[in-house]
Amino acid sequence: MQSRAGARVMWIYLGTGIAIFALMTLAGILLRAAQAGWIPVDPGTFYSILSLHGVGMIVAMAIAGLGTLWYLVRREIDLDERIAYLAYGFFIAGVVSAIISVVPGRYGSLWTMLYPLPFVGTYWPSWATGAWLIGNALVMLGFMLWCAQILGALLEKYGGVRGMLAIDYVFAKRAFTEAGRKPPPPAMFAAAITAFDGFITGMVGLVIGTALLVHLIDPSVAIDPLWAKNLTYLFGHSIANLAMYMAVAGVYVGLPMCTKRAYHTSPQLAVAWWATLLFVIIAYFHHLYMDFAQMQWMQFVGEIASYLAAIPVVVVTVYGGVMLVHRSGMRWSLGSMFLYGGMIGWVVGGIGAVLDATIPANIDLHNTLWVPAHFHTYLLEGVLLFTLGWAFVNLEQRADAVSSLMLRWLVGLGMFGGGALFVFAFYIAGAAGVPRRYAVEPAPGPLWASVATVGAIVFFIGFAICVFEGVRLASLPKSDVTA
Amino acid sequence: MNRRSIAATILLLATIAFALAPLYRSAVDIPIPVHHVLHAVMMAGTALAGILFAGSLARERRGGAPWLLVAMFAPVFAMILMWPSEYSYFELHPYGHIAEHLGLIFLGFAAGYGGQRYANGIGWASGIGIVAMAVLGVWGYGVAPTTVAPVAATPSAPAAAAAPNAAHGSVLYTQNCAVCHGVAGAGGEGPPLKNERVRKSLTAAEAWIENPAEPMPKLYPGTLSAQDVADVAGYIETLR
Amino acid sequence: MGNAYLIFNIFIVVAALAIIAMLFLANYRLHEPLPQEVVTSRGYTLRRYWFWLVLVVAVVTFAMTIPYFPYHAAGASASAKHFSVVAQQYSFSVPAVVPVGVPVIFDVTSRDVNHGFGIYGPDGAIVGQVQAMPGYTNHLLMTFTVAGHYTIRCLEYCGIAHAAMQAGFDVP
């Protein structure tokens, strides 16, 4: 069913996400320029901006992905958009609270703060800590509202967990199809896994968030630092990964539109998402490889789960995407460039991630710049591109127009070329052992930070051109040609 | 009354009876992790009762969006209510403790019932969630390992009887202070300390080192003994 | 393993291959269009092999990495010398000299927040690291084969002077 209410929700979410992303990119360029020595920034300010940059980027990408998924679910199932707006309100309130804690609060304990931070050695007032924690809690509540609504809708429409995950379709396919039943479309699996794992993520985030807030008010309440570390990483890892898997829905629907081919649910797709459902969460142990106080079995599980989590991606989603595009005669528009380029970025980031998730390699790479290297690849050249690609495919189809060749080259060079330079500088500095989260880096950090700053500026120019082009396409009259 | 309602009522009454435990048994000797488990059990009882009650409603009488808010906020308030403090009023006064328990089981019921009123299956998600959150607290909410014993002397040691040893203070300064205050007080992230004797007397410097304002780390009595503090302060007073 | 550059080279090679392969397969100028059924029937056949290849590589690699896990300090040689390392805001207390060629165990803890005990060799590359946590002691088993000055850097964000937290020891 077409849904104007759903489309409105989607564009509000998408626009907000991209706007926050743009602001956070400027903050990021400032940070890299500071590390390059181009702009003097004192460490306190550096860490405050870094805190906002981290949480802002994740929330921006999540908002954009949640909006896309909401629209795609709304096309299949009746949803109350008041809940979507309420969740949106929580997100905005949370972002505002986080901004206030940083400017003027000067909160600087970063978004995956590890207890006993942010209670020891702070250079900001404790109200800023409170504002930060409350901001995070508000975002978490908005996220859980979204997850509960979508989960409720999917459970109701497809018949419980069994139907939502297409268990009968996989294990008793003949009986299933002969009864005339259909499994959920591919994008609904992205929605189901996001909502299900998101619910768990939200719960975990609320536990650690409440514990920290209670400790802020009553410091006599003890918290175990290793417990806090586990919960913090379970929450942070999951929400960052889910931001990626949300955006995949845009690929599942967008690439078929670009290639004029169909993409259906298969038993392999269903099983791939079951694997994702499980491995995304338990892979979080890979953040604690260098915590020898962890129980050893957790380290083993972390490594194998991190490896296995890559299989659904490369065997089903990316492989399926390549099959859709291969020999389809698909031309490159901004929409298709971004969707396909995002898959390439996801694979490259994944290679960096799998290497870091290998424990003997982690000894050399943990908490070096390799870590931001791999997740900037995922986010900048993966999630962001899926999000923009989905937006452009819709804009291009609505106006029945594509961008000029020169514009596509400019945007491509900027976002792919500049982006590649930007992440490359992270990888090589990480391999050289330059630590992450250093306001002042040892050599050769500043040299590569200079390269990264140039890359980031080129990227931002390409991104800005792309945004203007998007606005231009959106302002064109709607084409009479029905899709 | 169908079978579900009867089962739910029995479950609810049993849980309330369980929640009234502080009336006949002191809770002071129950460790915090065990307490979290007991809270989880209580909330499991009423969450299940809530799911059964809502499940017995006809489909047309199911509510809508407001119930979603109930199901979402119940776990949040439950986490706050489980504020684990050994000096809490609730631990010491049985009626306060019971009030806390009744609050928790009400929230458990709200999670299960509210979730199911919103959509079939969400009651299970909220109910299991609220119980899981309580269980998750067992390993670290209100408990922590003992901290590292300080290496230096105890705080009750008298103020430095011997004169400050600036040579020793210089060694301590390089190890602990130079990272922020720079070599020989040149400054860095921390302010320069050259001519600090003009701004602070020896006694004032010692007092500052023992109780600094953040973000300067408090190294006394953990890292520095009272004599160490005197030695460092003595060294700093010599900086020009 | 002290070979981050090897890891980097593996990354560059594999990433380059992946990028080239994906661009090649998507290029509309190089291939005549084919109906979707033909592409998918070939593709699904190939995918079965691709799946098994990826799975086997994943499991075998996992098994091969296990001997290099750093978690065996507990069962390590009883004769290994222990050195206490205490991290705090913003310094480390470390031994001044560590013997060469013999297994040593660093017992690492923290006085306040999480820190990272990162050991950089004389050539500037990381040779080992472990987290320094308050309330816990982590045991890092190492054998230093190269003499020289080793630098310690903090590898877990710990506050405003995180980047300045440094120490060192010599291996004669």
Residue B144: its pLDDT value, please?
83
**Same structural domain for residues C46 and C11?**
yes
Count how many Cα atoms sit within 13 Å of the Cα of residue C24 in the half-sphere of its side chain. 6
* Distant-in-sequence, close-in-space partners of A115: CB < 8 Å, separation ≥ 6: A212, A215, A223, A225, A228, A229, A232
| Cβ neighbours of A328 in C, within 8 Å | 28, 33, 36, 39
Return the minimum-mean-pLDDT range out of A32-36, A183-187, B140-144: B140-144
Which of C109, C134, C161 lies nearest to residue B179, judging by beta carbons?
Answer: C161
Return the minimum-mean-pLDDT range out of A369-373, B190-194, C107-111: B190-194
Interface residue A44 vs chain C (CB under 8 A): yes
Kindly state whether residue C133 falls inside one of the protein's structural domains. Answer: yes
Asked if the Cβ–Cβ distance from A156 to B119 is below 8 Å, we say yes
Interface residue A291 vs chain C (CB under 8 A): yes
Kindly state whether residue C75 falls inside one of the protein's structural domains. Answer: no
Taking Cα atoms as reference points, which of A292, A310, A268, A290 lies closest to residue A435? A290
Interface of A to B at Cβ within 8 Å reads: 42-44, 80, 82-83, 86, 121-123, 137, 141, 144-145, 148-149, 151-153, 155-156, 160-161, 199-200, 203-204, 206-207, 210-211, 214, 218, 220-228, 231
Summarised one tens digit per residue, pLDDT across range C58-90 is 999 999 999 999 997 666 667 789 999 999 988
Summarised one tens digit per residue, pLDDT across range A294-308 is 999 999 999 999 999
What would the two tokens of residue B98 be?
């019971």
Interface residue A174 vs chain C (CB under 8 A): no
pLDDT at B12 > cutoff 90? yes
**Same structural domain for residues A62 and A167?**
yes
Kindly state whether residue A132 falls inside one of the protein's structural domains. Answer: yes
As a whole number of angstroms, the distance between CA A69 and CA A78 comes to 14
Which of A261, A293, A348 lies nearest to residue C133, judging by beta carbons?
Answer: A293
Taking Cα atoms as reference points, which of C170, C120, C118 lies closest to residue C148? C170
Taking Cα atoms as reference points, which of C123, C16, A21, A210 lies closest to residue B75? A210
Summarised one tens digit per residue, pLDDT across range A91-130 is 999 999 999 999 999 999 998 899 999 998 888 999 999 9
Kindly state whether residue C11 falls inside one of the protein's structural domains. Answer: yes
Q: Among C35, C68, C101, identify where a domain stops.
A: C68
Rounded to 10 degrees, the C-alpha dihedral A8/A12/A15/A19 comes to: 170
Residue C13: its pLDDT value, please?
97
**Same structural domain for residues C152 and C92?**
yes
| Cβ neighbours of C26 in A, within 8 Å | 322, 325-326, 330, 340
**Same structural domain for residues A250 and A372?**
no
Kindly state whether residue A483 falls inside one of the protein's structural domains. Answer: no
pLDDT at B159 > cutoff 60? no
**Same structural domain for residues C154 and C105?**
yes
pLDDT at C35 > cutoff 70? yes
Kindly state whether residue A315 falls inside one of the protein's structural domains. Answer: no
Residue C118: its pLDDT value, please?
97
Burial, B208: exposed, middle or buried (Cβ in 10 Å; 0-12, 13-18, 19+)?
middle
As a whole number of angstroms, the distance between CA C132 and CA C155 comes to 9
Task: Assess contact for B36 and B101: CB atoms under 8 A.
Answer: no
pLDDT at B157 > cutoff 70? no
- Which range of residues forms the domain containing residue A32? 1-220+236-256
**Same structural domain for residues C52 and C86?**
no
Asked if the Cβ–Cβ distance from A361 to C7 is below 8 Å, we say yes
Q: How far is C146 from chain B (nearest CA, A)?
A: 26
Beta strands in chain B (DSSP E): none
Residue B150: its pLDDT value, please?
42
The residue type found at A475 is S
Residue pairs between chains A and C whose CB atoms are closer than 8 Å: 220
Relative to beta strand C103-110, strand C81-88 is: parallel
Residue B59: its pLDDT value, please?
60
Question: Subunits that touch chain A (at least 3 Cβ pairs < 8 angstroms)?
Answer: B, C
**Which among B180, B216, B224 is the top mutation candidate for probing chain C, defined by the most C β-carbons within 10 Å of its own β-carbon?**
B180
Residue A481: its pLDDT value, please?
62
- Across the range B167-176, mean pLDDT stands at 88
Summarised one tens digit per residue, pLDDT across range B97-116 is 888 889 999 999 999 999 99
Kindly state whether residue A290 falls inside one of the protein's structural domains. Answer: no
Nearest CA in chain A to C74: A292
Residue B1: its pLDDT value, please?
62
Residues 90-119 of C with CB under 8 A from B: 90-91, 93, 109-112
| Cβ neighbours of B174 in C, within 8 Å | none
Task: Assess contact for C112 and C145: CB atoms under 8 A.
Answer: no
Which of B121, B122, B140 lies nearest to residue A228, judging by beta carbons?
Answer: B140
Asked if the Cβ–Cβ distance from A152 to B121 is below 8 Å, we say yes
Question: Subunits that touch chain C (at least 3 Cβ pairs < 8 angstroms)?
Answer: A, B
Task: Assess contact for A301 and A282: CB atoms under 8 A.
Answer: yes
If residue B51 lies in a helix (H) or strand (E), which one and from where to where? Answer: helix B32-55
**Same structural domain for residues A23 and A142?**
yes
| Cβ neighbours of B222 in C, within 8 Å | 88, 111
> What would the DSSP string read from start to end of A138-163?
HHHHHHHHHHHHHHHHHHHHHTHHHH
Interface residue C157 vs chain B (CB under 8 A): no
Residue A202: its pLDDT value, please?
93
pLDDT class of B89 with cuts at 50, 70, 90: low
pLDDT at A417 > cutoff 80? yes
pLDDT at C119 > cutoff 50? yes
* Distant-in-sequence, close-in-space partners of A344: CB < 8 Å, separation ≥ 6: A381, C18, C19, C22, C23
pLDDT at B188 > cutoff 90? no
Residues 48-87 of C with CB under 8 A from B: 86
Summarised one tens digit per residue, pLDDT across range C90-105 is 899 999 999 999 999 9
Residues 18-37 of B with CB under 8 A from C: none
Looking at residue A326, the DSSP 8-state letter turns out to be T
pLDDT at A2 > cutoff 90? no
Residue pairs between chains A and B whose CB atoms are closer than 8 Å: 111
pLDDT class of B61 with cuts at 50, 70, 90: low
Q: What angle do CA B132, B134, B138 make, to 5 degrees?
A: 105
Residues 103-132 of B with CB under 8 A from A: 115, 118-122, 125-126, 129, 132
pLDDT at B154 > cutoff 50? no
Summarised one tens digit per residue, pLDDT across range A206-219 is 999 999 999 998 88
Q: How far is A375 from chain C (nearest CA, A)?
A: 14
Q: How far apart are the first and last CA of chain A?
A: 14
Which of B72, B85, B136 lies nearest to residue A207, judging by beta carbons?
Answer: B136
Q: What angle do CA B106, B67, B16 make, to 5 degrees?
A: 15
Kindly state whether residue C73 falls inside one of the protein's structural domains. Answer: no
Kindly state whether residue A229 falls inside one of the protein's structural domains. Answer: no
CB atoms within 10 A of CB A370: 31
- Which range of residues forms the domain containing residue C156? 81-171
pLDDT at C128 > cutoff 60? yes
Summarised one tens digit per residue, pLDDT across range B117-134 is 988 889 999 999 999 999
What would the two tokens of residue A476 be?
């064109």
- Across the range B208-220, mean pLDDT stands at 86
Q: How far is C24 from chain B (nearest CA, A)?
A: 46
> What would the DSSP string read from start to end of A205-219?
HHHHHHHHHHHHH-T
Kindly state whether residue A137 falls inside one of the protein's structural domains. Answer: yes
CB atoms within 10 A of CB B211: 10
ipTM, two decimals, is 0.95
**Same structural domain for residues C48 and C89?**
no
**Same structural domain for residues C64 and C89?**
no
Mean pLDDT, chain A, rounded, equals 94
Asked if the Cβ–Cβ distance from B179 to C135 is below 8 Å, we say no
The class (CATH top level) of B166-237 is mainly alpha
Number of domains in chain A: 2
Residue B3: its pLDDT value, please?
84
Residue C31: its pLDDT value, please?
81
| Cβ neighbours of B180 in C, within 8 Å | 90, 161, 164
Higher pLDDT, B220 or A250: A250
Asked if the Cβ–Cβ distance from C110 to B222 is below 8 Å, we say no
Q: Among C44, C68, C92, identify where a domain stops.
A: C68
| Cβ neighbours of C161 in A, within 8 Å | 43
Q: How far is B201 from chain A (nearest CA, A)?
A: 25
pLDDT class of A367 with cuts at 50, 70, 90: very high
Asked if the Cβ–Cβ distance from B75 to A199 is below 8 Å, we say no
Kindly state whether residue C87 falls inside one of the protein's structural domains. Answer: yes
pTM over 0.80: yes
Candidate ranges A474-478, B71-75, C59-63; pick with highest mean pLDDT: C59-63
Return the minimum-mean-pLDDT range out of A73-82, B25-34, B152-161, C79-88: B152-161
Handedness of CA B193, B199, B204, B208 (dihedral sign): negative
Which of C39, C69, C136 lies nearest to residue A293, judging by beta carbons?
Answer: C136
Q: In what order do the strands lie in the sheet with C126-132?
A: C126-132, C115-120, C148-154, C166-171
Kindly state whether residue A297 falls inside one of the protein's structural domains. Answer: no
Summarised one tens digit per residue, pLDDT across range A135-170 is 999 999 999 999 999 999 999 899 889 999 999 999
pLDDT class of A229 with cuts at 50, 70, 90: very high
Asked if the Cβ–Cβ distance from B148 to C109 is below 8 Å, we say yes
**Same structural domain for residues A252 and A340?**
no
Q: How far is C166 from chain A (nearest CA, A)?
A: 11
pLDDT class of B153 with cuts at 50, 70, 90: very low
Domain locations in chain B as residue ranges: 3-139, 166-237
**Which among C85, C151, C160, C166 is the top mutation candidate for probing chain B, defined by the most B β-carbons within 10 Å of its own β-carbon?**
C160
Nearest CA in chain A to C153: A435
